[in-house]
Amino acid sequence: MAIVKRITTTAQLALSNIRSMNTVASLRRISAKSLSEKILAEGDSPNPSYAIIDVRDEDFIGGHIKGCVNIPTLQLDAMMPTLVRKLKDTKTVVFHCALSQQRGPSAALKYLREKDELLKTLGKESEGTVEQEVLVLDRGFVGWQQTYGDDERLTEGYVKDIWDNY
């Protein structure tokens, strides 16, 4: 009976781990319009409810979303534990790259998995943590700049010529 119970418990644990696994398909997206509204609504708040993580590498030149944090893809693995701890009380975390097809979604997955591991490690200490929404910017910075590139309230360092043929 003990062997059957242990197998059942192990199977249940494995099933619960599978259910909690995040995939690219399960990632939620946010439109440029929704993100711009969030940024404008909070203005220059010293403690915004969101964080924008831009994982572009050398393609970061030519503009970025105001207030974003640039963590190039090659630095992500080393920075991820620190990022998860730093953003633990942030309600919404948005990841993006140029198109949000590869680097942005991959970074969001790494973040979610690192966060899950941290919460497992903390156990009961994690109770009371902020419910966090992790999103990917739909169409990435390319989509963003098409609408908001010239809007200095939302975009910094924008150089239109760089993005004309992207």
Residues with active-site annotation: 97
Q: 44: how many CB neighbours lie within 10 A of its CB? A: 7
Q: Residue 153: which residues within 8 A CB-CB, separation 6 or more? A: 39, 40, 66
Pairing outcome for strands 92-96 and 64-65: unpaired
The number of angstroms, rounded, from the C-alpha of 30 to the middle of its chain's C-alpha atoms is 11
Closest Cα to residue 141, out of 110, 162, 126?
162
| Contact by Cβ (8 Å): 132, 115 | yes
